[in-house]
């Protein structure tokens, strides 16, 4: 009975079957296996362009490695002030980049807007040696408040960044949920909009422990490979990561799983909206619902065995509920019944 996070969900049957099938015989180590070699072609088909793909076991490491390829140690990485790389990865980006500075910019519902970014870059003291200079833009898709950038919004942000020479990356831990909401081609909201590299999330969408670093700018591939080895992220038995990633995108399973999680979030939000003592912070666009309710109500629900997290950035009475690829409708309805019962007590 948990809405803590999609990280609490199990791996999908497809991923477990792929791991079991890979667990036989011998395979070359360090990514020189058949499964890993096949990822470039599979993702090139998915994104309709030639890409270079590197499996990484952790999203934090994948983000850090990409940022280290886009930024020098003396550079600045711009992101929304609520971005995951800024608020939820400790100082890992600074570690991987050997000291690049993360700077948060304001934006409604954890999204940057192009006008704010453009003005900040125009006003930046580029000729002042004592001020670090922006070199990269990081976007979270979907955001830490469950909102989604449209292709036009991504394109406007990338245009503003590239006008000042910045490279662009997308933290796509919940990219599948964003694309399922948008209904667009993955290419439309990434490289066609100006994104140079991204983390394609697998773990939150039914993987066990695997993320795909996707390089649309293939000139970054050699440096990424060297940095991955240097950072201790080049896994010996890479096939076990690669088969998870391959199984997740086969037959559009990544979109189907994400669409279900999104639908359960929509169902949850609709039910909560009907409870007078619960207020939606905003309508969900992906698989996370943010609400305000009295702490006493939240405590009563927790005591009854329902799990969810406080979300203090939206206020002391705010909470986040996340649905997953396998969240049953019955669980959503059971929680809504509990909310109505406790609210009426």
Predicted local distance difference test score (pLDDT) of residue 344: 86
- If the chain, 345 residues long, is cut into consecutive pieces of 10 residues, what is the mean pLDDT of each piece? 92 98 96 97 98 98 98 97 94 96 96 97 97 98 97 98 98 98 98 98 97 98 98 97 98 97 98 95 97 95 95 91 98 97 89
CA distance linking residue 225 with residue 38, whole number of Å? 17
DSSP helix/strand/coil, 1: coil
**pLDDT at residue 118 in the model:** 98
Answer whether 197's CB lies under 8 Å from 212's CB: no
3-state class of 108 per DSSP? helix
Domains of the chain, first to last: 12-252 (3.40.640.10), 254-344 (3.90.1150.10)
Strands 101-105 and 75-80 turn out to be parallel
Strand runs labelled E in 30-132: 52-56, 75-80, 101-105
73 phi and psi angles, rounded to 5 deg: -60, -25
pLDDT score, position 345 = 79
Query: What pLDDT sits at residue 312?
Result: 87
């Amino acid at each position: 009975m948990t809405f803590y996070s999609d990280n609490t969900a199990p791996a999908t049957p497809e991923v477990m079957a792929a791991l079991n099938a890979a667990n036989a015989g011998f395979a070359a180590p360090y990514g020189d296996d058949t499964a890993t070699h096949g990822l470039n072609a599979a993702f090139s088909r998915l994104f309709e362009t030639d890409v270079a793909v590197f499996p990484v076991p952790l999203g934090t490491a994948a983000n850090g490695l990409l940022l280290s390829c886009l930024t020098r140690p003396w550079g600045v990485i711009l992101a929304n002030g609520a971005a995951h790389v800024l608020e939820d990865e400790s100082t890992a980006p600074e570690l991987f980049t050997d000291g690049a500075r993360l700077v948060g910019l304001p934006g409604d519902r954890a999204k940057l807007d192009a006008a704010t970014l453009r003005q900040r870059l125009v006003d930046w003291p580029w000729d002042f040696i004592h001020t670090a200079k922006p070199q990269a833009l990081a976007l979270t898709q979907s955001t830490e408040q469950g909102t989604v950038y449209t292709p036009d919004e991504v394109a406007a942000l990338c245009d503003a960044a590239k006008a000042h020479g910045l490279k662009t990356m997308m933290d796509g831990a919940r990219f599948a949920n964003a694309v399922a909401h948008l209904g667009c081609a993955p290419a439309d909201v990434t490289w066609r909009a100006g994104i140079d590299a991204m983390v394609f999330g697998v773990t939150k969408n039914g993987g066990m422990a695997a993320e795909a670093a996707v390089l649309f700018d293939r000139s970054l591939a050699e440096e990424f490979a060297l940095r991955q080895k240097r950072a201790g992220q080049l896994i010996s038995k890479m096939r076990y990561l690669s088969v998870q990633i391959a199984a997740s995108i086969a037959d559009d399973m990544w979109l189907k799983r994400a669409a279900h999680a999104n639908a359960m979030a929509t169902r949850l939000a609709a039910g909560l909206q009907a409870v007078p003592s619960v207020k939606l912070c905003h309508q969900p666009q992906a698989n996370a619902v943010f609400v305000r309710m009295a702490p006493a109500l939240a405590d009563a629900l927790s005591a009854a065995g329902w799990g969810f997290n406080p979300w203090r950035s939206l206020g002391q009475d705010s909470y986040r509920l996340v649905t997953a690829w396998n969240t049953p409708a019955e669980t959503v309805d059971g929680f809504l019944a509990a909310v109505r019962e406790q609210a009426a007590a």
